[in-house]
Structures are given as C-alpha cells and as structure tokens.
C-alpha cells in the first residue's frame, strides 16, 4: 500500500476523505456540547491562541464511534495490522487569529499511570496527576499518531511542517539536523482528512495568517506492553 511505504520512508502520510461532512459535523457537535457544559474541567487548556482538551477520548467518549468509522479502522489495519490501542489523545482548536506556533520537535514522551524507576525510562514529568516519561527509542519507533482534521488545514492556518525521513535517525537534537540537506514538507490536509505520522518525525507549525480556524484530534497508538508493571495511563482498547 502506498501510504504504508510512505510512512516507512518519509515518516508520514496524508489521506483525505476519511470522514464525511456529516461525521465531522457530529464530532463538532459533541465537542461543542462538552466544552459548553464542562468549562472548568482540569483537562482543558485555554488561552487566546489555543484551546485544548487533554485525554480527549476519555473526556468525550461519545466521539469514538464517529472517529473509528469503518474507513479509519480499515486504514489502521491495512497499514499497521491488528492489536493497536489508544495511548493518548488531545483535541486542539487553534482560533482564527492565533499567534501560537510550535518549533521543530519530536514527540518523545508517553503518558503512564505512575512513576517507577526503570532502566532507559527517563525525563519524568507530572502535570495534573498525569505522569509522562521518555521511553526507550524502540517503543517510540513502533508507535504511530493519527491527526484527524476537522477543518481544512493549509500553510496559512498552521499546517504541520515536517522534515522528511527524520524519524529514521533516532532521537536527535534539532541542531544536529543539517537543514541545508533536509527536505521540508508542509502537510496540508482537507477537512475530513487525516495525517498519519511517526513520533520521531520532526514537526512544527506556524502562526495563523489567514483568519481561518484549525481544529485537530490528535490520537497516539501502540500495541506494546510496558515493563515492570508500568501501564499506559490513557490506554483504551478498540473494539
């Protein structure tokens, strides 16, 4: 499959027309209801430049039947196989006049249920009783992320920029990448489309310049068992 080869070689792939207009409208309605009725929730992050819901699939579980439609389930199974589960999810809403930008980085941490001193699990942090840790590289290399685009996303409203094939280089400091020699791609995605990416792919996003909103559901997946009784804190097995 072309997308599987592209993920292996480039670290990402874009697939449009995964969700119908009706499915997207249902997702928007469920999210809007949640934000109106639960505005003081500690998993919500609000600023002038960004609104986010952490642990999204647990906070708004009603969205899961719409997210995991037959098309998305077939895409996951055909590219990655069976046995994957959700390990983390975040909903991002970047407003029309947002100055929020994110510098180039790799996604190096996973969310876990407790802190246990384990070899090669490093850089522990905790936010709102949620532990995060950088696991061994091989765990990150075997995970993947799907970003569901609720709005059309272009270079003008903060589409991700990526460094092609940077996922194959392991964990790096950004200054060790030679930008003169690297290929950068701006990942524009249609409304109802998805972007699949590997956690070690360097990615960034710019400020919004066209007064258009950008809403994305970011979901991370794994099928790996963690050692020594450590568990994924947001683990949700798909039916």
Predicted confidence (pLDDT) per residue in 115-161, tens digit? 999 999 999 999 877 899 999 999 999 999 999 999 999 999 989 99
Rg of the chain (C-alpha set): 17
Angle, in degrees to the nearest 10, between helices 70-80 and 2-10: 60
User: Are 191 and 24 in contact, with CB atoms under 8 Å apart?
Assistant: yes
Q: What is the distance of C-alpha 110 from the center of its chain?
A: 12
What is the structure's pLDDT at 48? 65
**Residue 205 pLDDT level (bands cut at 50, 70, 90):** very high
pLDDT tens sequence across 54-105: 999 999 999 999 999 999 999 999 999 999 999 999 999 888 777 778 999 9
Total-model pTM: 0.94
Using CA atoms, how far residue 136 sits from 16, 156, 161, 168, 208, in Å, is 33, 36, 25, 15, 35
Average pLDDT, the chain: 92
Q: What does the pLDDT average to over 38-44?
A: 65
Phi then psi dihedrals of residue 33, to 5 deg: -60, -40
Domains and CATH numbers, the chain: 2-237 (2.60.120.620)
């Amino acid at each position: 499959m072309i997308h599987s080869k592209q993920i292996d070689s480039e670290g990402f792939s874009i697939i449009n027309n995964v969700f119908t207009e009706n499915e997207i409208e249902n997702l928007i309605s469920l999210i809007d209801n949640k934000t109106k009725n639960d505005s003081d929730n500690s998993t919500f992050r609000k600023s002038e430049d960004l609104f986010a819901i952490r642990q999204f699939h647990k906070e708004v579980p009603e969205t899961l039947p719409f997210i995991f439609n037959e098309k998305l389930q077939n895409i996951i199974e055909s590219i990655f196989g069976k046995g994957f589960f959700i390990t983390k999810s975040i909903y991002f809403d970047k407003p029309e006049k947002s100055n929020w930008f994110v510098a180039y980085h790799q996604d190096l941490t996973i969310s876990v249920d407790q802190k246990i001193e384990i070899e090669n699990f490093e850089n522990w942090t905790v936010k709102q009783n949620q532990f995060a840790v950088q696991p061994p590289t091989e765990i990150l290399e075997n995970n993947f992320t799907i970003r569901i685009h609720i709005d059309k996303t272009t270079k003008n409203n903060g589409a991700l920029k990526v460094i092609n094939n940077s996922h194959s280089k392991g964990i790096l400091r950004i200054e060790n990448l030679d930008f003169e020699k690297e290929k950068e791609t701006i990942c524009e995605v249609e409304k109802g489309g998805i972007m699949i990416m590997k956690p070690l792919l360097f990615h960034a996003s710019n400020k919004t310049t066209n007064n258009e909103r950008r809403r994305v559901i970011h979901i991370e997946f794994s099928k790996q068992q963690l050692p020594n009784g450590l568990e994924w804190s947001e683990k949700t097995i798909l039916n």
